[in-house]
Amino acid sequence: MNLFEAIFQGIIQGLTEFLPVSSSGHLTICQHIFGMEENNLFFSVMLHIGTLAAVLIVYCKLVLKLFKSLGRILKKLFTGSFKWKEMDGEENLAMMIIIGLLPLFLLFLPIPGTGMKIKDLADLFSKSGFFIIVGLSLLTTSVLLFLGNRANQKVAEQNRKPRRRFKIPDAVTVGLTQCCAALFPGLSRSGSTLAASQLRGINKQVALDYSFLLGTPAIVAAALLEGKDALFPDNGGAVSIDWLPVIVGMLVSAVVGFFAIKLFKWLLSTDRMIIFIVYTAVVGAAISVISVIELCLGVNLFTHTALVF
């Protein structure tokens, strides 16, 4: 991978990680077009680290408050004074993030008879032979965004105020949605978790903040696991990673990601989600048609190479 490709993918990652159009889906599309099949998942995770920095910069004050809230909760637990119903807003948010992360452990369950874990499906689906999954997942993202946006509009039409505090069922629902987004390239993590929260009746801005914060520990965990696999492979073979493109890509994704967060928050507050609903529907339909043609021919239409399964 050269620097141009790293910068290009860093821009795509920074924009699409936070905008509800799926970063993994767009990176897979980019890699499919340019025929880059090797080490895809590792490079994708490294780009996620760049966007993680953007989240921490935007939400640094709230993140610090959440750590302080966890400290207060632990102190109350040790002193026996903790009461669930008496948690303040920040303590509630901290607990709901922890609960929302629990479904991620499902990704480590084995798939019977395959020697794979559920999380390994993400690597499998990124191969060119499964390109149709990207198209179908983008279409699913469009549907979820539409449903979430419609749920928010119904609340406004009925002159009701959406909830600003998460409950356990809300956190579990969003956590399960995040698991699905981790598996299918094209299913936007930010978009699907935002929609899941809105369908549960949560305020859209609170839902967006929760989505970004919930993704932070997941990104760190994914980076540690995939980084370990890349640097210390099970076969004990020599590791060869060109770190310059990786570092450049990470920096680009961090800068672009920062502005993408600001843009998404503004678009959501001004009710312009239709932009993403239409975009993911159009791109998803186009990719689906292209992938069907490729499956019939057995070759990648862009690189003219055989599909990899």
Nearest to residue 223, comparing CAs of 41, 24, 7?
41
State pLDDT tens for residues 190-206.
999 999 999 999 999 99
State pLDDT tens for residues 225-275.
766 666 666 655 555 677 788 889 899 999 999 999 999 999 999 989 999
pLDDT at residue 285, rounded to an integer: 97
State pLDDT tens for residues 54-108.
999 999 999 999 999 999 999 999 988 888 888 988 999 999 999 999 999 999 9
17 near 179, Cβ under 8 Å? no
The confidence band for 37, taking pLDDT boundaries of 50, 70 and 90, is: low
R_g (Cα) of the chain, nearest Å:
20
pLDDT at residue 193, rounded to an integer: 96
Q: How far apart are CA 10 and CA 43, in angstroms?
A: 10
Token pair for residue 193? Answer: 């978790």
210 near 202, Cβ under 8 Å? yes
165 near 201, Cβ under 8 Å? no
pLDDT at residue 229, rounded to an integer: 65
Token pair for residue 266? Answer: 């503004």
